[in-house]
Amino acid sequence: MNYPISASNPLLQLTKSKKRLPHLVIAILLVMAFLIVGQLIGVFTAMPLEAVIKKGTDITWKSTENLLVMLFLGNIPVILSIYLWMRFYEKRSFRNLGFQTQKAVPNYFLGIFIGIILFCSVVGLLSAFNYMTWETGSPAMQGMTVLLPTILILLGFVIQGATEEILCRGWLMPMVGARYNVWTGILVSASLFGLLHGLNDNVTILSIINIIVVGVFFSLFALRQGSLWGACGLHSIWNWLQGNFFGLQVSGTETGPTILNLKEIGPDWLTGGAFGPEGVLLLQ
């Protein structure tokens, strides 16, 4: 079922169960607080694990374990901070973010399917214009021998993708949309989503614009489903395909072992360069 992009959308109606909706500036500051507090907790929690990982000698598993620590401990505390805020301050269920049980599985896998189609289309377009080639890397970090590590990393991206969707499309967009209007919620959440990537390595103005556009698409997709499940699936599979299937940069970040190992060639402004395909002009 497709829901309307309007004030009657289930995502906004679930948020309206909260009697007092924060001002736009307060809502944005709360998102930043969730993110900062959660990641600080993650950093301190990860320290002893990182010390153990450094003692390892297997390059594949050291890389995998480091990434898993970052994905899990950098994101789970953020989700927990939002849960605690909703539970004890807002007095509403975490499911109000768009995690209804009805059609949860088909919605999630529809998001995965759409994410596969979209990202494979980006790689296909770059390849068609000869802007994609094979990269020679360490045999220990690529090919079918790293299938198990990459599957484990996918589980980490399930958490990471869900965290960003909970922050931007699950909490911020409906909160702003319910107080003002749905399009204000979409544009504010998408803009913050793009700007949050502004501190990533090798970021460009074009890449931020692209991520904002993607944020608008994720918002519309979540609203049409009336839930957050599909957006979470789409976000997670997009990042995993980009980094651990095709071997490209994920928003300027290396992501360890990869099944394939591709790289963009040509002018950075057209291919995304060191930031990865999210900075591709073709996405416009």
Res 204: pLDDT? 82
The 10s digit of each residue's pLDDT in 67-80 is: 999 999 999 999 99
Long-range contacts of 263-270 (CB under 8 A, 24+ apart): 263/132, 263/133, 263/134, 263/135, 264/126, 264/131, 264/132, 265/130, 265/131, 265/132, 265/133, 266/129, 266/130, 266/131, 268/204, 269/204, 269/206, 270/131
Res 250: pLDDT? 84
Res 280: pLDDT? 60
CB distance 97 to 17 below 8 Å = no
The alpha-helical segments, DSSP class H, found in the chain are 10-15, 24-54, 59-73, 76-85, 104-128, 147-165, 173-179, 182-195, 205-225, 229-240, 268-271
pTM for the whole structure: 0.93
120 contact partners, CB below 8 Å, separation of at least 6? 241
Res 284: pLDDT? 47
Q: Which residues of the chain have pLDDT under 50?
A: 282, 284
CB distance 231 to 222 below 8 Å = yes
